[in-house]
């Protein structure tokens, strides 16, 4: 693990382009990605509004998601929590850690979290308003939990390689613990 971590303001939404979830049909690993053929959004926040497809290689299940229309705008997904922001399925990458649920969207998210947690010195180069690392819960940042969180992240990295229903973590079940008080709104004609 590196001794120093440089935070340049990475947002959680930057990892939402590819999300590993529990398949609603078979319970194996499914994948949520933007619909094929779409232009890459000009800003990464555009990922919250892009139509999505859920697909499971194990059972062939598929589903599509589009942002809700509200008046002259679109209501996009809200990132965070143990469910994917689009289909509200449990995340595949979940495990118990320090008495809580440790989760990630994909392998890149796991690697970014491990680099941050494993660092002995953490430097911030941007405003913490929406930055992912500044918004992590205190228990994940605490030095006393470092080894446990790194072990949990290693478990998530291993889970990413598995896909059968029997491989699912005992943490990856619906709990409805994700706050749903609002959505991101994009007014038509925006830059996305």
Give 146's Cβ-side CA count (13 Å radius): 12
How far apart, in whole angstroms, are the C-alpha atoms of residue 165 and residue 167?
A: 5
One pLDDT digit (tens) per residue for the chain, 192 residues:
558 887 777 889 999 999 999 999 999 999 999 999 998 888 878 889 999 999 999 999 999 999 988 888 888 899 999 999 999 999 999 999 999 999 999 999 999 999 999 998 888 776 666 789 888 999 999 999 999 999 999 999 999 999 999 999 989 887 655 544 445 444 444 443
Residue-by-residue DSSP string for 127-181 = -SSS-TGGGS-HHHH-GGGHHHHHHHHHHHHHHTT--SGGGS-TT-S----S--S
Whole-prediction pTM value? Answer: 0.86
| Whole-number pLDDT of residue 176 | 56
Q: How far is CA 85 from the centre of its chain?
A: 8
| Whole-number pLDDT of residue 107 | 98
What's the Cα-to-Cα distance from 157 to each of 82, 139, 181, rounded to whole Å?
Answer: 16, 20, 31
Where are the chain's structural domains? 4-165
């Amino acid at each position: 693990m590196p001794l120093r971590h440089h935070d340049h303001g990475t947002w959680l939404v930057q990892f939402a382009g590819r999300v590993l979830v529990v398949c609603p049909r078979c319970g194996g690993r499914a994948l949520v990605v933007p619909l094929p053929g779409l232009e890459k959004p000009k800003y990464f926040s555009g990922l919250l509004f892009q139509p999505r497809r859920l697909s499971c290689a194990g059972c062939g299940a598929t589903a599509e998601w589009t942002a809700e229309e509200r008046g002259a705008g679109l209501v996009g997904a809200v990132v965070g929590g143990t469910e994917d922001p689009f289909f509200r399925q449990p995340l595949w990458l979940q495990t118990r850690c320090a008495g809580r649920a440790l989760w990630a969207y994909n392998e890149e998210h796991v690697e970014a979290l491990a680099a941050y947690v494993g660092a002995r010195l953490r430097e911030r180069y941007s405003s913490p308003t929406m930055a992912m690392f500044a918004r992590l819960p205190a228990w994940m940042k605490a030095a006393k939990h470092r080894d446990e969180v790194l072990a949990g992240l290693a478990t998530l990295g291993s889970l990413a390689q598995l896909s059968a229903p029997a491989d699912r973590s005992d943490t990856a079940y619906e709990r409805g613990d994700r706050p749903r008080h609002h959505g991101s709104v994009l007014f038509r004609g925006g830059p996305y």
